Amino acid sequence: MRKARTPHEGCGLSSGGAWRRAAAGFACALSCAFLIASMTLLTTGAALAQTSGATGDPFAPANKKKPSSFPKGSMFGKVNTNVDRSQPMRLQGDQLIYDKAGNRVIARGNVEIYYNNYILTADEVVYDQGAGTLTAVGNVTVKEPQGNVVHADRYTLTDDFRDGFVQSLSVVTQDQSRITAERAIRRNGNVNEFENGKFTPCKSDGNTPPLWCISAARIIHDADAATITYQDAYFEIYGQPVFYLPYFQSPDPSVKRKSGFLSPVYGNSSTLGYITGIPYYYALAPNADITVTPEYLSQQGLLFQGEWRHRLSNGQYTVKIAGIDQDANDLEGTVSDPDKYDGLRGSVETHGLFSLSSWWKFGWDAILESDDQFRRFYKLDSALVVDRVNQVYLTGQSDRNYFSAKLYQFGGLLTNDTPQAESSTHPIIDYNYVFADPVLGGELKWNTNALSFTQNDVATINPITGQTANSNVNRIVSELKWRRRFTDAIGITYTPFADVRGDLYQFDNFTNPESVVIDPATGTVASSSFVGSDTLARGVVDGGATVSYPWVANTASASHIVEPIGQIVVHQESVPQRQFPVLDAQSLIFDDTNLFNTSRFSGYDRIETGTTANVGVQYTFQAHDGGYARFLAGESFHLSGDNIYLNPGRDADGNFVYTPFSGLETDRSDYVLGVYLAPIDEFRIISQARFDQSSLDIRQTNIAAVSNYGPISAEVGYTYNADAFIPDAALPQSTVLISTPQQELLGQATLRLTDRWSVGGLARYDIDNGGLLYDSVLLKYADECFVLTASYIESNFNDGTIVPDQTFMLRFEFKHLGDFAAKTDVTNFDFGGDQRTN
């Protein structure tokens, strides 16, 4: 009959077995027991894959979006079995005895042995030449080549330091993890067996048990198989057993990738139901792997996910797929067309980046999906993602050249998006060249832009064919820009400039922006002019000069610079362009950053005309102790010619093609002010504001403050726009946008309570509607071996099947064992896991 072993001691100070059985019901262990239960399901893929994620390895498992909180380190390193026997063994001690009869050499007193990067010290070492073994006795310390340090009372090993037998063992690894055992045996150089062993990466003062540890009857580390096996083990917290593990195996953290199951997925959601699944990680080759994640959702069915990763010599790419056989009757929210969501739903996501040479790069980012709601409903994307942008790109850059060719596909994800939200460029090309030799003493640049664009415009009816049609635009723009800067004897700086530009447009099936007439009674489009096909050209020549005169004053504590700035820009008085479609010039923001630009539009489709004068004054303060402040205030004057910022025109739906309230629509613009403050390194403020030129009312402002002082880190942002555009609720049948004030507040802060505890929060607040758009609170504990993160997240977004959500998440990280994420709706307090939220 097999004799039962005596229970091994745990990680705490107590011994014997009675306390162990009593502590098994310890109340604080309940949550940890649920956590550790998942570990028994893991094989060699889990902890290994999570460790690789901490190093930025592109082949880290797909379901681990959050890297490990612990620094890279190896619990065990593989021992080099290729021992160079030509290397001498160097031995020294206080006394050396040659026992010819026993064929032994005995060294006593402060013995040191150096051999093949091993270092052994002991009180006494006996070298048995016949048996080929070394036996070290008393205060034995062995430092291995991979960084481990072994302490023992007695250590017997072969003379090549490969195999050995250790009593009263203690191992301190390179990352300060510890193993203690009553006895250990090393076989074949790379297999270590520890009897009645204990492992922990946590620090302990010797009187207090470590935060957590694994005590086992046997711990086997096989470096060749890259596995660590625990037999008859307990997982303990502060010396108290919380879960029994009859058999548990994890990968050797010194290896980055290995096939196996990953951390199980548990969870509960009001829309998805109970969630359960176990990802499996396939390490197919050193440069390729796959992660397969089947998940069962009690209210929706089986959601399948898979990710393929492949690294090549010059780059890498990934492909992720997700799919489910959907029953539309299971969906919540407002579904106007349930048949659209019935049946197979899914998505394909792919990313790639390749270096073609030292100058050229090629890549892509794309997501293809069955419908606009799928990825947000199943939490593959945030609910706040409202647009989809796919791209394929080729870029090249040298000292004086830049080339970019991009293919874009744009799509709106909201249920109220118009067909115009779907469009694509094929392609858009930019080329920039800076001439090496000065021209007229200045710098000359050549810029060229080419665009081919298609927009889904099903609201537009071709009057000739009577059919809906897509809108197409082909455009090429080429320009030369010259600049020169010089300073006269009294310090005035002059910067003359000149630009020459030519544009050629070909477009068809477009609504003429200046032909749209709005019915004031209904707010709908009363009439418009349709352009079947047309080709237009325009040429632009402008020039001018910027003059500044900085005044400098130095004091004992700081320097002050006051710099008046004036600029004259002369364009052609008028250029036919209002009938051109507007694609890349829809964003129009006038502030201090573009006060002295020759054009404030974001793209090429609209250009300034006439003569303008821009004036401003800049004040810069620089303290000798590091404090800094800069203020820039000014305005723009339209002196003559056509003001293109007035009457922007409308699209086929009646919406302005760009804002008519930019602050530049009058001959005298609004005032702009930029404030940049950094009184100390730990505190910064940036503010950009625009004030009405007649009443000085604020028309637009953005303020951001960042502080990192002591244990507090905080950011606050405030935005206000007096002329924001939102749909008019009084005209529900109209898509016309009405100008109305809009303001929003965003804040986040983190407080480090102690060296290990911190708390933080984030909130995005809609001031006009008086409600939170998004908020979260996070509590985190982190030490050298364990990380716990608890967070509450509330999202108040509602669109179709996407409904407001309240979520509580827990994330545990155990050094060398991996992590586990738990997620639950706050309303039911039913703990579960959803690692996609990491």
Distance CA 570, CA 598 (A): 9
> Which pLDDT score is estimated for 8?
46
Taking a C-beta distance cutoff of 8 angstroms, is the pair 830, 270 a contact?
Answer: no
pLDDT: which is higher, 837 or 752: 752
Question: How far does the chain reach from its first CA to its final CA, in angstroms?
Answer: 51
Q: Which among 457, 63, 17, 480 has a CA at the least distance from the CA of 278?
A: 63
Distance CA 406, CA 429 (A): 6
- pLDDT at 189 > cutoff 90: no
Cβ neighbors of 511 (< 8 A, separation 6 or more) are 457, 460, 528, 529, 530, 531, 651, 652
> Which pLDDT score is estimated for 821?
44
> Which pLDDT score is estimated for 56?
35
pLDDT, one tens digit per residue, over 562-580 is 999 999 999 999 988 888 8
How many other β-carbons are positioned within 10 Å of the β-carbon of residue 358?
9
What one-letter code names the amino acid at 516? V
213-217, 328-332, 432-436, 773-777, range with the lowest pLDDT: 328-332
Confidence tier at 135 by pLDDT (50, 70, 90)? confident
Taking a C-beta distance cutoff of 8 angstroms, is the pair 36, 263 a contact?
Answer: no
pLDDT: which is higher, 788 or 418: 788
pLDDT: which is higher, 332 or 563: 563
- pLDDT at 759 > cutoff 80: yes
> Which pLDDT score is estimated for 102?
80
Pairing of strands 805-814, 260-261: unpaired
301: left (phi over 0), alpha (psi -120 to 50) or beta: left
- Give the side-chain half-sphere CA count within 13 A for 43: 10
93-97, 329-333, 535-539, 718-722, range with the lowest pLDDT: 329-333
Q: Calculate what percentage of the chain has a pLDDT beyond 70.
A: 80
pLDDT, one tens digit per residue, over 151-179 is 888 888 776 666 777 777 777 776 677 77
Distance CA 833, CA 838 (A): 10
Distance CA 499, CA 540 (A): 8
> Which pLDDT score is estimated for 741?
82
pLDDT: which is higher, 90 or 598: 598
**Highest mean pLDDT pick, 419-428, 490-499, 741-750, 817-826:** 490-499
> Which pLDDT score is estimated for 356?
94
20: left (phi over 0), alpha (psi -120 to 50) or beta: alpha
- pLDDT at 792 > cutoff 50: yes
Phi, psi for 682 (deg, rounded to 5): -90, 0
Whether the bond between 71 and the residue before it is cis, its omega within 30 degrees of 0, is no
pLDDT: which is higher, 823 or 52: 823
How many other β-carbons are positioned within 10 Å of the β-carbon of residue 513?
23
**Highest mean pLDDT pick, 46-55, 115-124, 499-508, 530-539:** 499-508
pLDDT: which is higher, 181 or 362: 362
Distance CA 119, CA 301 (A): 60
Confidence tier at 583 by pLDDT (50, 70, 90)? confident
Confidence tier at 18 by pLDDT (50, 70, 90)? very low
- pLDDT at 349 > cutoff 50: yes
17-21, 293-297, 535-539, range with the lowest pLDDT: 17-21
> Which pLDDT score is estimated for 825?
40
- In this prediction, residues 766-794 reach a mean pLDDT of 84
Confidence tier at 42 by pLDDT (50, 70, 90)? very low
Confidence tier at 12 by pLDDT (50, 70, 90)? low
In 373-468 the beta strands, taken as DSSP E runs, fall at 387-397, 401-412, 423-434, 443-455
pLDDT: which is higher, 706 or 264: 706
Confidence tier at 65 by pLDDT (50, 70, 90)? very low
- Long-range pairs for 204-212: beta carbons < 8 A, 24 or more residues apart: 207/13, 208/238, 209/10, 209/11, 209/12, 209/13, 209/236, 209/238, 209/239, 210/11, 210/238, 210/785, 211/237, 211/238, 211/783, 211/785, 211/786, 212/11, 212/236, 212/237, 212/238, 212/785, 212/786, 212/814
pLDDT, one tens digit per residue, over 660-692 is 889 999 999 999 999 999 999 889 999 999 999
> Which pLDDT score is estimated for 328?
83
> Which pLDDT score is estimated for 70?
55
> Which pLDDT score is estimated for 824?
44
Taking a C-beta distance cutoff of 8 angstroms, is the pair 504, 492 a contact?
Answer: no
Alpha carbon dihedral 120, 121, 122, 127, in 10-degree steps, equals 40
Q: Kindly report the average pLDDT of the chain as a whole number.
A: 80
pLDDT, one tens digit per residue, over 523-555 is 777 788 878 788 889 988 999 999 999 999 999
Q: Calculate what percentage of the chain has a pLDDT beyond 90.
A: 34
> Which pLDDT score is estimated for 50?
38
Confidence tier at 351 by pLDDT (50, 70, 90)? very high
Taking a C-beta distance cutoff of 8 angstroms, is the pair 692, 676 a contact?
Answer: no
Among positive and negative, which fits the CA dihedral 39, 45, 51, 57? Answer: negative
Pairing of strands 133-143, 118-128: antiparallel
Confidence tier at 83 by pLDDT (50, 70, 90)? low
